[in-house]
Structure 1
Amino acid sequence: MSHLVRCTAALAILATCTAQAADWSDTSLSYRYGTRFAEPFNNNDITKNIVNLSHVSGYKYGKNFFSLDFLMSSELDPSAAGSNSGAHEAYIVYRHTLDFGKITGKDLAFGPVRGVGFTAGFDANSKTDAGYNSKKRMLVAGPTLMLDVPGFLDVSLLALWESNAPYNTFTNQATPRYAYKTHAMLTGAWGIPFNIGIPLSFEGYANFITAKGTNEFGGGTSPETNIDMQVMYDISEAVGTPKNTFKVGIEYQYWKNKFGNPDRNNPGATAKTPMVRAEYHF
């Protein structure tokens, strides 16, 4: 976990420095819970409690996004061979988007597009599960379109450079770090407010990822679809706090061919997971 801890510390420093120069920022702590999570090569419905720290901020030339999930599985996703305790995972996402219109001082809007940019960043994880312990590391980069909607809707086409270095506690077998073929992801992220008598927002992301060649064991990979969306209710005024301080809602994730694992004869490779979610923004 030491590499992930160093990454988290560095990003905390970066977020602090960025916030000082930010035109706007939003930091949140959230909790979500579901009982139908899935993991490849595991046929069980897994319960997970997930705590998240997120930070998004905008500055003169673009914006930053940082997310740290801490995922705590039930014993059906064991932490080690023969263990009665569930796996723990930390997953970091960081993205930085440069807005070409802000950099050049020109209006680059056209049709439904209000801005054009370039996004780069990375993903990293560490997990204590019995069978895989992937230690994922991934760099991403590519163009972004910012669409003209209430709130935001950003669509990016990113190149992915992904590697992992799994360790199997059943066999005590470590696999040297393995790099997949460079592959592509079409991704969208959105937060769109609406009102039906109560203040709501439709939020989430959708990733469509091409196959990434063979895995470290020589098996083929499949394209992934990962859609995670939620409807959130801003209860802030009801509890006497400023707008957008407290939110509660429902969330749903559909993830086919999780991590590129084909779901053929592998039901755990596709997840259909309803969740409840609560957020505190500060």
Structure 2
Amino acid sequence: MLAAPSAASAQTEFHIQYGSLDNPFSGQAEQTVILTFQHALSWSLGDSFFFTDFLDDVSVDGFNDRDFYGEWYPTLSLGKLAGRTVGAGPLRDIAIIGGINFDGDVDFFKYLPGVRASWDVPGFYFLNTDVTAFIDANTGLEKGGGAPKTGNSWMFDVNWGSAINAGNQSFVFTGHAEYIGGTTDELGREVKPWVLAQPQFMWDVGKAVANQANQIFLGIEYQYWLNKLGTDVDENAAQLLIVWRL
């Protein structure tokens, strides 16, 4: 995500992650490789954040089998539209957010319109809280999709970024945590509410080894997922993380 947004700035990253992740439908843990393309953009009237994951695990089980999953969140800043600060105290800005979540393997698609509050908190270069709808647009089983249609729900998300310097070493602590409300699917089954947290802690190895700051990072992503994808499976997973920042 953007470390220092300006009137028009952008940041692109490529990630490699490796770890043991649970198949929520079989309960089996599989070694999984995730390749991520991530792009963050700040422009005169708002921001945009987009990523696509390409996922593959070691077994052919209908889950994470050379699949891709992505999310896009463009925002429209009320403060930038008005030309003045919207908010007071630690509240830095309010924005209208529109999001989409999509998965290619099972024809999964959600719309997430809502509101973002951006906070000015010491030690963080960004800290946002988002409240959105979670509107189903899946193809559905009846029309040949891999994921059933569900009722609509809602999401609360906290996302953050913080830079940490310790002596000559630099680190980044970033990530998000979300709650998505429960619903039911087209077969009448319960889709449980879930909590997903994905904090990342990264060391600026490019700076430490080659004096090339903000380019190559090495770290871990910890994934905690209560009721993964609305099932009974709870996941705790640490993944190796390598980041190349352009």
Task: Tell me, yes or no, whether TM beats 0.5.
Answer: yes
The residue aligned with 2:77 is: 99
CA 1:65–1:241 in 2, change beyond 3 Å: closer, same or farther? farther
Displacement of 1:241: 5.5
Structure with a larger share of its residues in helix: 1
User: Aligned pair 1:78/2:48, yes or no?
Assistant: no
For 2:190, what is the secondary structure of its paired residue? coil
- Cα shift readout 1:215-238 (whole Å, capped 9, x = no counterpart): 122111211101011111112223
Percent of aligned pairs sharing the same letter: 26
CA 1:179–1:78 in 2, change beyond 3 Å: closer, same or farther? closer
Work out which of the residue numbers 103, 107, 110 in structure 2 matches 1:125.
103
Letter in 1 for 2:98: A
The residue aligned with 1:3 is: none
Displacement of 1:177: 7.5
Partners in 1 of 2:165 and 2:69 — Cα distance?
Answer: 33
Partners in 2 of 1:270 and 1:126 — Cα distance?
Answer: 24
Native 8 Å contact 1:66 1:92 kept in 2: yes
Partners in 1 of 2:18 and 2:55 — Cα distance?
Answer: 10
TM-score computed with the length of structure 2 as normaliser = 0.89
5+ long unaligned stretches in structure 1: 1-20, 81-85, 128-133, 168-172, 264-268
Partners in 1 of 2:117 and 2:157 — Cα distance?
Answer: 11
For 1:109, what is the secondary structure of its paired residue? coil
Work out which of the residue numbers 142, 153, 171 in structure 1 matches 2:127.
153
Map 1:198-217; keep pairs closer than 5 Å. 198-212=169-183, 214-217=184-187
For 1:164, what is the secondary structure of its paired residue? coil
Letter in 2 for 1:78: D
- Cα shift readout 1:56-111 (whole Å, capped 9, x = no counterpart): 01000011111000011111x5249xxxxx71210011110111101101211312
The residue aligned with 2:159 is: 189
The residue aligned with 1:141 is: 113
User: Aligned pair 1:47/2:21, yes or no?
Assistant: no
5+ long unaligned stretches in structure 2: 1-5
Question: Aligned pair count?
Answer: 237
The residue aligned with 1:130 is: none
CA 1:23–1:164 in 2, change beyond 3 Å: closer, same or farther? same
TM-score computed with the length of structure 1 as normaliser = 0.78
- Cα shift readout 1:19-76 (whole Å, capped 9, x = no counterpart): xx971110011100002x112231221110000000001000011111000011111x
CA 1:234–1:209 in 2, change beyond 3 Å: closer, same or farther? same
For 2:163, what is the secondary structure of its paired residue? strand
RMSD: 2.2
Partners in 1 of 2:117 and 2:200 — Cα distance?
Answer: 22
Native 8 Å contact 2:116 2:129 kept in 1: yes
For 1:106, what is the secondary structure of its paired residue? coil
Native 8 Å contact 1:236 1:245 kept in 2: yes
Partners in 1 of 2:43 and 2:91 — Cα distance?
Answer: 20
